[in-house]
A and B are shown apart, each in its own frame.
Chain A
Amino acid sequence: MAKTSEKVAAPPLTMMSVVAPAAGWLIPGAGHLIQKRWGRGLLLMVSVVTMFVLGLMMQGRIYHPNGGDILDILGFVGDVGAGGLYIVTVVKDWGQGAIAQATADYGTKYLIVAGLLNFISVADAYHIAIGKKP
């Protein structure tokens, strides 16, 4: 049986392939904007930022770094995906969460999903930078 051992070439490490994902994480949509994908970048920025801000306005809870319950750890991983928005929120001590409100739980989910969506847009910015996606 013929052995098919074709090695997949590693994508070239360019300055843009490092800067775009980093910028995209710090400022949602910026990874696309610095690559001149204006429409996509603005839509991603508006979507992620609006979702995060709505989460805060609904009195959602921000997770801090922790080593306790697995759901708390996963909540932190999701939140931290929002990058600069998460940092500003922690510094300003926002996102304390209001347990008494039913909609506050929606807010917490909005905050986590905004971060997770930003992770996807960071990966997309990287794919554009290495030429895998137009």
Chain B
Amino acid sequence: MNLQLSHFTAAALFALFASIVFGITQRTGVREQVRYGLYCFVMFVGGVFVAGWVMWFLRR
């Protein structure tokens, strides 16, 4: 099977799975794990947007 994802989908899925693992392994309580997982996800996806805009400005 050949799966072809867009850049953004690949980055978003990457962020989702990495955030789940980071949240579970880096914090102890359930509440802290969820909060840290969400924080990591927002930072990953936010980083994608920032990097995208930086590349857009560099290209101009």
Q: Which residues of A contact B (CB under 8 A)?
A: 40, 43-44, 47-48, 50-51, 54, 57-59, 101, 103, 106, 109-110, 113-114, 117, 120-121, 123-124, 133-134
CB-nearest residue of chain B to A59: B2
The answer to whether B17 touches A117 (Cβ under 8 A) is yes
Instruction: Determine the chain A residues whose CB is within 8 A of the CB of B25 once the complex forms.
Output: 44, 120-121, 123-124
Residue B18 is within 8 A (CB to CB) of chain A in the complex: yes
- Summed over the interface, the residue pairs from A and B with CB atoms below 8 Å come to a total of 55
CA distance A44 to B18 in the complex (A): 10
With A103-B10, A117-B18 given, name 19 new contacts (CB 8 A).
A40-B24, A44-B21, A54-B3, A54-B13, A57-B2, A58-B4, A58-B5, A58-B10, A101-B2, A103-B3, A106-B10, A110-B14, A113-B14, A114-B17, A120-B22, A121-B24, A123-B25, A124-B24, A133-B28
The answer to whether A43 touches B4 (Cβ under 8 A) is no
Of the candidates A54, A58, A113, A124, which one forms a contact with B18 in the assembled complex, judged by CB atoms under 8 Å apart? Answer: A113
The interface residues of chain A, by DSSP majority, are classed as: helix
How many chain B residues touch A (Cβ–Cβ < 8 Å)?
A: 16
Instruction: Determine the chain B residues whose CB is within 8 A of the CB of A59 once the complex forms.
Output: 2
Query: Among A106, A117, A121, which residue has the most Cβ atoms of chain B within 10 A?
Result: A106
The answer to whether B18 touches A106 (Cβ under 8 A) is no
CA distance A121 to B17 in the complex (A): 12
Instruction: Determine the chain B residues whose CB is within 8 A of the CB of A54 once the complex forms.
Output: 3, 13
CB distance from B44 to the nearest CB of A (A): 12
Instruction: Determine the chain A residues whose CB is within 8 A of the CB of B14 once the complex forms.
Output: 51, 109-110, 113
The 6 closest A-B pairs by CB, nearest first: A57-B3, A124-B25, A47-B17, A117-B21, A47-B20, A51-B17
